[in-house]
Structure 1
Amino acid sequence: MAKDSAPAEKKASRAKKAPAESFQDKQARKSKASGFRVGAVILWLIAIGFEVVAILLLNGQFNFRFFGITDQMVWIIVAVVIDVIFVIIGSQLWKKSNDIDPASEKNKVKFFLWNNMGVIAAIVALAPLIVLFLKDKKLDPKKKKILTAVAGVVLVLAILFSVDWNPASAEDLEAAQAEIGDGLVYWTAFGKSYHIDPDCHTIRNSATKESGTIEEAFEAKRNDPCDFCALEEEG
């Protein structure tokens, strides 16, 4: 008898929980996300700065001679590599901000663009270099191939690291908040879902089990509810 009443008891305990985050908590969450976004934009601007440096080196307006290295192609490659590093780090910050404060998916185009600003930044900071390398008639053919290949590879890497493959939406978070309230959810280091039941068989034997609010789960990129936990709740 006690076993049959367990699901009903779980539902009742959930119904007693607070339905949503407070206004202050919501503002704090948005403020935290804004900080990451500002950091991302700053890093992207630095990346574009190194793109400009690479162009100036290509045009012969800069001539670096550090560590005995006088070949400007080497310094162009260095500038391109630093460029892509800042692009990728900025993209991780941007994706983190969207995990904390997801965009609404009511406007599909805006939702897609907002979640892939890192891809746009990668194209802006790297694609022009490929065009310039290919169009430069003064550039040695061998160097042209090397520089174009390097720029092409780092552009692909930047795009792959910048794409948000599984973005959450504001509606996803609101629905989860309505269901969970201020109760705890659980997730593991390598799992992709959050769990309502800490004894769910999919995480029961996990060596590392994290717990937190639903907002913290979304921030940790755990925005998919466990199907098994949902079935147990319905049962």
Structure 2
Amino acid sequence: MTETPKKKVVRVESPKPAQRAGGGAEGSERSEPVWTPTPEAKAKATRFRIIAAVLWAVAIGLEAFAIFWVLKQVPVIMWLLIVLIVATGILSVGGSLLWKQANRLDPASKNDTARFFVQNQLGAIIAIIAFLPLIILIFMNKNMDGKQKALAGGIGIVVLLVATLFGISWDSPSQEQYAEETNIIEQLTGEDNVFWVKGGSVFHVCEAVPDVNKESKDGQIYQGTVAAAHEAGKDRLTKRWQSEATKYCGYTEEQVAAVEAKLAGDTPTDEQQSQDPGAQDPAPTEDPAQTEEPANAG
């Protein structure tokens, strides 16, 4: 029997399940199914984007003040210039963090390549806009000596690099990714329900997986929809979901193979399904050969 986890399991409630265009049999014919957020998630993402835009606008405003007033003073007020550089960096990073969270709630589609790139990398683009002109003008300024230029310019470069790193989306979310992950979980388990822990970067098939039972920051396992897992900061479904499903979650290799076949567009015929009852029944079953858990996660 699968060992019951000792950690407390906490359900993360979602107001409504996430919507996917073209669900059911019709949706399975789409090569790239489209995922759409709930109205609540969409509204929350919009609020985050508005706040991020305000923070970025203020950051660029500070840059303009530094360029058109501070750098024109004789002598240049160094402490004020440095304060403006640091404040611009803080505002830029704050906007980027909010923008990334909005993208988790309401991701772009990979089908629209230009929008997908801009939406996911806008934080880095704004950071460059907010700092690069100022840094160039600092080094070109005639009212500053070499030591002052090195100090202000060096600080500007460091803050630019930090703000750009925070602005880059290293694992950009997409509608297609959310749709595929939701399809995998629903086809395998019969419901949109996954598990994760604080501090981890991925979510898992069931609560019995060793990775979610390791010691974590708050000693809890969270469960909720794929969308809720992404909102909680998880980048993706674990790449080992197949081995997790068979080793720890009670699903058979036939059930996993059936899900993989559907993902590949190779849907089994009615005759094949009738010969493979395990592929029809999404409910977990015990495999006598798997009564003892391996020591390590899949």
TM-score, normalisation: structure 2: 0.65
What is the correspondence of 1:136-215 to structure 2 with a 5 Å cutoff?
136-181=141-186, 183-206=192-215, 207-215=219-227
Deviation at 1:202, TM superposition (A): 1.8
State whether residues 110 and 175 of structure 2, in contact with CA within 8 Å, keep that contact through their aligned partners in structure 1.
yes
For 1:75 and 1:234, locate their aligned partners in 2 and report how far apart those are by CA, in whole Å: 65
Q: Which one has a larger percent helix, Structure 1 or Structure 2? A: 1
1:117–1:209 Cα change, 3 Å = same
Deviation at 1:22, TM superposition (A): 4.9
For 1:201 and 1:26, locate their aligned partners in 2 and report how far apart those are by CA, in whole Å: 31
Q: Residues 23-60 of structure 1: CA distance to partner in whole angstroms, max 9, x if unpaired? A: 99622211111111111000000111111222211112
In the other structure, the counterpart of 2:271 is none
| Matched AA of 2:199 | F
Q: Residues 118-170 of structure 1: CA distance to partner in whole angstroms, max 9, x if unpaired? A: 01110111111111111112322211111111111110111111111111111
1:115 aligns with 2:134: no
1:172–1:57 Cα change, 3 Å = same
TM-score, normalisation: structure 1: 0.81
Secondary structure (helix, strand or coil) at the match of 1:211 reads: strand
1:97 aligns with 2:106: no
- List gaps (5 residues or longer) in structure 1: 4-19, 64-70
What is the correspondence of 1:1-235 to structure 2 with a 5 Å cutoff?
21-22=18-19, 26-55=38-67, 56-60=69-73, 72-181=77-186, 183-206=192-215, 207-231=219-243, 232=245, 233=251, 235=253
Taking every aligned residue pair, what percent have the same amino acid on both sides?
31
| Runs of 4+ off more than 3 Å | 22-25, 179-183
Deviation at 1:234, TM superposition (A): 5.4
Aligned pair count reads 210
